[in-house]
């Protein structure tokens, strides 16, 4: 079985590669993994022979390269993406997340790839259908009850809604390219992970949150986080590719929903750090991002917070995981198990 994987050096990507190799039910598996020239190959993937895992340098905007490299591929997993709340990265996200996806979909169609898997995001899901609310949902260890917006795979993108980030918009457009490929005869699978928690040796994704907690700053977000263990995302993505009965659908991968006031102290305790103890003040939510935007413009440095990142930290949304649990007859790791694992890995 021949795989072509983009984003393989990334936080989720290296777990996906490891999962495919170690759990493969095939007699032989060959993975062609795309990397940028300046990307570091994760330590745990460096020992695999080229007969199993071959690294190639290339560009998602190079259509000739993509057409050549996808010849003979059975499955493609497209995980490469720019993730950013910085408005200055809008054009780069458009190029990588949208144009790159369009190009690789075209290559998959031209070369009769059997199935294409898009690593998307809950950010691409849009808004819930009218009336979808979870009333008085018990959501944290303090038994506080909250009314949360409920979103599942039936949610539809609503162009008139103005609260989407540039990142969310590009992930939505990327999904449209995947569905276009499906309409033209390509079998596809789309997974929509929530906020991915885990250990990464190169300090990406959830490690941004971990670095914040390590700095022992006093503030936590006022909203809720939907989280999923990186190992669960890798495992479930692999399982969805093993049977055609799972194809041509999208799946939310979400381990649960937790208040930041609970999540961040839990991680802090696991890391032996002083937990944040008070919510972000209203004045920061209203005005702080504007001041930091000005500072960022003057200094040329990326903003430490943006309007989009503050809105994300204040959201009261929960994402359903019932579809994937029912389809695969599987459950997610608990927050406690994931946090304990993260703590152990970062202490090593």
Instruction: Give pLDDT, residue 128.
Output: 64
Residues 6+ apart with CB under 8 A from 232: 253, 255, 332, 333
Residues 6+ apart with CB under 8 A from 39: 9
Instruction: Give pLDDT, residue 135.
Output: 44
Express each pLDDT in 218-227 by its tens digit. 888 878 889 9
Q: What is the CATH number of the domain that holds 239?
A: 3.40.50.720
Determine contact, residues 303/292, Cβ cutoff 8 Å.
yes
Q: How confident is the model at residue 229 (pLDDT cuts 50, 70, 90)?
A: very high
Express each pLDDT in 20-59 by its tens digit. 999 876 668 999 999 999 899 999 999 999 999 999 999 9
Quick check: 236 pLDDT over 90? yes
Structural domain span for residue 182: 2-347
What's the structural domain count of the chain?
Answer: 1
Q: How confident is the model at residue 173 (pLDDT cuts 50, 70, 90)?
A: very high
Instruction: Give pLDDT, residue 46.
Output: 95
Express each pLDDT in 122-160 by its tens digit. 999 977 655 555 544 555 544 455 567 788 998 888 776
């Amino acid at each position: 079985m021949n795989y072509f994987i983009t984003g393989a050096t990334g936080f989720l990507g290296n777990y996906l590669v490891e999962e495919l190799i170690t759990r493969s039910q095939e007699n032989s598996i060959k993975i062609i993994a795309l990397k940028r020239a300046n990307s570091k190959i994760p330590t745990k993937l460096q020992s695999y022979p080229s007969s199993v895992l071959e690294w190639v340098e290339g560009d998602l905007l190079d259509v000739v390269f993509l057409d050549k490299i996808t010849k003979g591929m059975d499955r493609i997993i497209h995980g490469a993406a720019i993730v950013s709340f910085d408005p200055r990265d809008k054009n780069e996200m458009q190029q990588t997340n949208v144009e790159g996806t369009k190009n690789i979909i075209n290559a998959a169609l031209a070369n009769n790839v059997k199935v294409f898997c898009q690593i998307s995001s809950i950010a691409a899901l849009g808004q819930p259908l009218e009336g979808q609310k979870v009333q008085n949902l018990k959501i944290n260890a303090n038994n506080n009850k909250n009314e949360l917006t409920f979103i599942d795979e039936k949610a539809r993108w609503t162009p008139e809604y103005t609260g989407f980030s540039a990142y969310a918009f590009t992930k939505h457009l990327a999904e449209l390219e995947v569905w276009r490929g499906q309409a033209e005869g390509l079998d596809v699978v789309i997974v929509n992970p929530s906020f991915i928690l885990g250990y990464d040796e190169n300090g990406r994704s959830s490690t941004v949150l971990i670095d914040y907690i390590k700095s022992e700053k006093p503030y936590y977000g006022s909203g809720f986080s939907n989280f999923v263990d990186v190992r669960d995302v890798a495992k479930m993505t692999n399982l969805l590719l093993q049977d055609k009965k799972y194809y041509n659908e999208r799946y939310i991968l979400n381990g649960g929903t937790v208040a930041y006031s609970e999540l961040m102290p839990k991680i802090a305790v696991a890391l032996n750090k002083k937990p944040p103890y008070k919510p972000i003040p209203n004045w920061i939510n209203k005005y702080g991002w504007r001041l930091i935007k000005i500072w960022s413009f003057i200094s040329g440095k990326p903003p430490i917070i943006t309007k989009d990142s503050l809105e994300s930290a204040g959201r009261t949304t929960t994402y359903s995981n019932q579809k994937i649990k029912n389809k695969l007859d599987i459950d997610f790791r608990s927050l406690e198990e994931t946090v304990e694992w993260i703590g152990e890995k970062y202490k090593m």
